[in-house]
Amino acid sequence: MNLKKYFCLGILLLSLLTGCKDSNMTGLAVKTQTQPTIERIIGQPSTAVDEISIGTFNIQIFGKKKREKDDVMKRLVDIVDDYDIIAIQEFRDKTEETVPYFLSKINEKEGNNYSVIASERLGRSSSKERYAFYYDNKRIEFLNLSFTFPDTEDLFEREPFIAYFKAKEGNFDFYLVNIHTKPDDVEKEIRNLAKVKAYILQKHPEDGDVIFLGDFNADGNYFNEESDVLGEQYFWAVPNDFDTTVARSDRTFDRIIFLKEFTLEDFAYKSGVDRFEKRWPELSYDEMKKISDHYPVWVKFRIDKDSQ
């Protein structure tokens, strides 16, 4: 009896290991799903009819001094108009003139028709910042909803800024959550993005496509990039091997994250870092640092698959 029992167990184990193709043998077939590999791109996003590009860019201390540098402003315009929509961090300007001024410079370029949605000045300290989304009106529609996360528990140095958009073609609509974390509180602030997600879905359950993007400071001494602080339900679309900073050290500070359940089906599996030396090989290291200490990063999403 025992010999027969062990023989049957052996047959069962062998079937499970080798995989059973007979659909009638219920419970023995092993189904595996492989996730496509992310196409890693160094450079700006290309234009595709069935995809949109979403970027994020920390433009270091973007205020009066930077906007008076004509060569830097021209390069910033050249960067932004390669994106269908891009989140910007680190506007520092008490007069609040830089956000609209930058829009005017973008639209001076022939063929451009961009708009901007921006937050108020945010931050606990006197060095406050504004977030902004610049988007191409030919490709993106703003759905008349933007707000700052009501941070009643003081979870964030700068409260995340949220806006709702859709691709003008196709059926992809989505929330973008713009954030610049405090270096000393990176893990705590990233973990609390789950509360931001919960708030958005509670108030606006009609769409689960919530995309977090910005300067997360998610590397180096600030953060263990191998940690799974948000859990397996989130997809980190900017890989850890991307260097997103101009400094000679290799750091992946800038990130784009979304919920697998709702948004993975829309992801085109294309991610990029828009390195200045790729665009302008003639620039010196010091000239690149005048633009910013961060590179833009971006992802592509399909506009024809959205079911949420």
The distance from CA 87 to its chain's CA centroid, rounded to whole angstroms, is: 9
Q: From CA 160, how far away is CA 210, in angstroms rounded? A: 12
**Residue 59 and residue 22 in contact, taking contact as beta carbons nearer than 8 Å:** no
Q: Report which of 48, 46, 45, 114 is spatially closest to residue 77, judged by C-alpha positions.
A: 114
**164: Cβ contacts below 8 Å, ≥ 6 apart:** 142, 143, 144, 145, 146, 173, 174, 175, 204, 207
Q: Which two tokens stand for residue 20?
A: 């059973």
Q: Is 129 a catalytic residue?
A: yes
For residue 35, the 8-state DSSP code is: P
Residue owning tokens 């073609």? 169
| Catalytic residue (one of 180, 189, 225, 294) | 180
Burial of 21 (0-12, 13-18, 19+ CB in 10 A): exposed
- Encode 230-265: b = buried (16+ Cβ within 10 Å), e = exposed: beeebbbbbeeebbbbbeeeebbbbbbbbbeebbee
Q: Report which of 100, 307, 132 is spatially closest to residue 214, judged by C-alpha positions.
A: 132
| Catalytic residue (one of 51, 90, 129, 157) | 129
Q: From CA 149, how far away is CA 161, in angstroms rounded? A: 6
Residue type, 17: L
Residue owning tokens 């300290």? 125
Q: Is 120 a catalytic residue?
A: no
Positions marked catalytic: 129, 180
